[in-house]
Amino acid sequence: MSKQLHEITFELKAQNPTDFVEDFAHFGVVGSGDMEVIIEQKNLDGAVKVKIVTPVTGYDEVWRRVLERFVNDTGVANASLEINDNNATPVVVSLRLRQALSEVD
């Protein structure tokens, strides 16, 4: 049985934004790991554009909440976030996002 992948996209804005300064950052592996995240600098008027590719359906709202909290807690702005998920739980998503961001700090 082939796994149907599901794509979720949305835009968020931090309450206290700080620009993402690196051009590009990549963190994690999707194949043997739980998820990978690619962060790219983009001029988005202070917004963060999120694209998630995941085999799991029915959790769009949870993804949005996890990302909302991440963006607000870190203030990340003007960036595009691409997440390739391999069944990571929200816990792991939060942890990986924070790890990705502090890698470039």
Partner 1 sequence: MKTKKKWDTRKTDYLERMSGAEPYINNGKVVAAEDTINVLEAVIRLFDRVNIEGNNQKQANFLAEALIKCDTQRIHDLYMVQSAVPLPVHLDMFEVGIAKKLDFAYGGPMGGRVAEAIKNGKLELGAIHTYLELFARYFIDLTPRVSLICAYEGDADGNLYTGFNTEDTPAIVEATKFSQGIVIAQVNKLVDKVTRVDIPGEWVDMVIESPKPFFLEPLFTRDPANITDTQVLMAMMAIKGIYGEYGVKRLNHGIGFNTAAIELILPTYGEELGLKGKICTEFALNPHPTMIPAIESGWVESIHSFGGELGMQKYCEARGDVFFLGPDGTMRSNRAFSQTAGHYACDMFIGGTLQIDKYGNSSTATATRVAGFGGAPNMGCDAKGRRHPSDAWLKCGAEFTSQSEYLGPMPRGKRLVVQMLESFGEKMVPGFVDELDAWQLAKNANLALPPVMIYADDLTHILTEEGIAFMHKCRNLEERMAAIRGVAGFTEVGLAAKSTETKALRDKGIIKTPEDLGIDRQRANRSLLAAKSVRELVDWSDGLYDPPARFRNW
Q: Which residues bind partner 1 (CB under 8 A)?
A: 56, 59, 62, 65-66, 87, 89-92, 94-95, 98-99, 102
Q: Which is nearer to partner 1, 47 or 66 (CB)?
A: 66
Identify which of 58, 105, 73, 103 has the alpha carbon closest to the alpha carbon of residue 36: 103
96 and 37 in contact (C-beta within 8 Å)?
A: yes
Q: How far is the CB of 103 from partner 1 (least distance, A)?
A: 9
Rounded-to-integer distance, Cα 33 and Cα 87, Å: 9
Q: Which is nearer to partner 1, 18 or 102 (CB)?
A: 102
H or E segment and range at residue 9: strand 6-13
Q: Which is nearer to partner 1, 20 or 63 (CB)?
A: 63
Q: How far is the CB of 87 from partner 1 (least distance, A)?
A: 8
Neighbours of 25 (CB within 10 A): 16
Q: What values do phi and psi take at 76, rounded to 5?
A: -55, 135
Q: How far is the CB of 36 from partner 1 (least distance, A)?
A: 15
Q: Which is nearer to partner 1, 42 or 98 (CB)?
A: 98
The three-state secondary structure class of 86 is coil
Q: How far is the CB of 40 from partner 1 (least distance, A)?
A: 22
